[in-house]
Structure 1
Amino acid sequence: MTTREVVGRYKGSAIGLGWSLFHPILLLAVYTFVFSVVFKARWGATGSESRAQFALILFVGLIIHGLFAEVINRSPSLVLANQNYVKKVVFPVELLPIISIGAALFHAAISLGVLLAAFFLISGFVNWTVLWLPVVLFPFLVLITGISWILASLGVFLRDVSQTVGIVTMVMMFMAPVVYPITAVPEQFRPWLLANPITFIIEQARQVVIWGALPNFGGLFIYLAASSSMAWIGYVWFQKTRPGFADVL
């Protein structure tokens, strides 16, 4: 079903799955031009990095936020778009968010491949610490799953949720160190950025992919504990509200 989700999204288009490669490259080019050329943003305190290095650092944040936004933005319509599974077939509807996450991971993997290829061309090597990236992403995926269960349920009863979620994910992008370093934010506002669930994962992903350092295992353990609680709450909420899906649909 995940494969069908990925292939079906590009069915009938001339480029097909090529869009999954073209889209992140185009997005990266636009953001790099706007922030490094127009706004002349720099990541390090000395501003000594090249535009190519700035683009790599930026791309990590875009991949993490893109993974989050793709799943969360689709969540409110998951049950609505698969009404036949709710009304006619004995089907574990709670798997729909998992299928959506699988499709989002496919696109994230394509983007990561582009990132690592560009990193190798620029630096001549790839940090071995990139092997820790799945460990960094796992707690994040657990959190996304819990949120997706809640939103998929709410989307059945409150159709305005899908409109609201799109705005929230856009705000979360600019309230996280995606296009700017967290050190550029005044001290009094940094707690707001740290409260954003994608901030810690973006920082840890940059640690292992760009800087070649080990992740913060203690922080990841705490994040996993909080994510597991959210996933449990989301699953319980989804199962409690599930009997009402068929009546509403």
Structure 2
Amino acid sequence: MNRFPSTVLAGVLAFVAATSVAAAPAGAAPGPVTAASAAPRLTDAAEVASRPADAAGVASRPADAAKVAARPAGVASRPAGVAARPVTPARAGATTATSTDVLSVRGAGPFRIGDRLDRLTAAGLIDWVAEGCSGVRHAGVTGPWAGVILLAFMGGRLVEISTATAPPRSPAGAAVGMSFAELEAIYGRRGSLIRNDAGTASAYLVRVGSRVELFTGHPIRPGVGAFQVGPASFVERGFRQGPSC
């Protein structure tokens, strides 16, 4: 058997080794392939298993995790395009739902002109009811308005609210206890001083559409003794013509 000279063999081995190194990936150290190197790296699998966030598609960066953790559970974010409702600060001096400051031709608190007696009774707002003349029913109320106003119903509907106290005041600021001259200063051309058909009593009348504010005289002292609101067909007519019984 022919033998290669040792110098030639060494050169061939050096050439083969150089060729293998050149063919390997950059930075990879040459070495023999063993069973240990060919087996799967358990440490790699453990690293993947220890990162469930990556597997779920959620970023594993600390900043992203903090953002998710900071959101309260069960609180849904506002849908895109829906603006947040602005918070309106309470107006200074605004009256509350239980205020007894204002009596207008619309009503007072929960008592609105045109309301049904049975509905107000069912709501627990009526204290007592008394029969009057010509089908009129008078009623006292409960709650903050008790002792402040009296109601009159015709055909089951609220047609008049009256008071002999102050407050309440009208939206313009008129109230029981004022003189008729003060009312004229408040209302100007909107109101007028009237007398009943018998010529025995005076009142100050303010028209608001088909309804009126009526300020009648006090039985003892000069000025306003009562303040009434409601439809002119009931309140004004009742003053001009007087009671029917």
> TM-score normalized by structure 1?
0.20
TM-score (norm 2): 0.20
Higher-RCO chain (CA-CA 8 Å, sequence separation at least 6) = 1
- Which has the greater radius of gyration? 2
